[in-house]
Amino acid sequence: TFDEDVEAMPVSPPSSESGRPPMASSASRFSWWSYLFAIAAVVGCMLAAWIAGCAIDSVALAAGAALMLLRAVRRRCAGTHREGEAETEFALGEVDYSLLVLFAGQFVLVGATVDTGLPQKALQGILGPCFRQLDATAACVFWFSIVVMLLSNIISNVPVILMLQPLLARQPAANAVQVWTICAWVATVAGNLTMLGSAANLIVAQGAESRGEAGYNATST
């Protein structure tokens, strides 16, 4: 009969408009709380390994691999992955290659400029007697901080550290930690002043622009 034929017909699972399989039930879903707890555990282990003196690069690679594995498990349990899509395909599809090219070009340009020795000669002229010991007096600390702040908002705060590294390496060993701390703190704060102060600002601005946000007010888009 017609009713028996209908019952015998195979029923295909529903799919969303994006072509992805439906969300898994809440009972089998890898909950957000479990996901966040796992991320916190990985980050905590990474920090503990660094404090214990383990190799920074090896620990960072291990933590990154663990986080990618957690995301893969989360996507599988939540049912948000595409059928037949490998996790590597998803990860590579999320890479912002234009941003990577920007960073690579920025560091190559700054590194090549540092190799010419011109930045050191310019800094020697700008800093004057403070050049040999940046924390010799309060005036030297203030003037050095102003220079770091201005440079951070011209070439961004991370490349400016690369440019200042030869200068900082010449400081007296007894004052090295204090000088590096001052430089790091000023460069970090300077990154919040203008759009060019930090690469993070450029990333946020690019994301906002891709969503149609074109306004600019102080340091935000």
pLDDT-based confidence at residue 188 (cuts at 50, 70, 90): confident
pLDDT score of 17 = 47
- Read off the amino acid at residue 124: Q
Quick one: average pLDDT of 140-165?
Answer: 88
The yes-or-no verdict on residue 27 having pLDDT over 90 is no
Q: How far apart are CA 7 and CA 83, in angstroms?
A: 27
Q: Measured between alpha carbons, how far is residue 193 from residues 149, 204, 207 in Å?
A: 9, 14, 19
The yes-or-no verdict on residue 146 having pLDDT over 50 is yes
The pTM of this model reads: 0.61
- Between 119 and 75, the more confident residue is 119
Q: What is the mean pLDDT of the chain?
A: 78
SS3 content of the chain, % helix, strand, coil (to 5): 70, 0, 30
- Between 215 and 75, the more confident residue is 75
Q: How far apart are CA 184 and CA 178, in angstroms?
A: 10
pLDDT-based confidence at residue 44 (cuts at 50, 70, 90): very high
The yes-or-no verdict on residue 115 having pLDDT over 50 is yes
pLDDT score of 79 = 67
8-state DSSP, 213: -
Quick one: average pLDDT of 202-207?
Answer: 76
- Phi/psi for 220 (5° steps) reads -125, 155
Quick one: average pLDDT of 173-190?
Answer: 88
In contact, 100 and 39? CB cutoff 8 Å: no
pLDDT score of 42 = 93
In contact, 191 and 200? CB cutoff 8 Å: yes
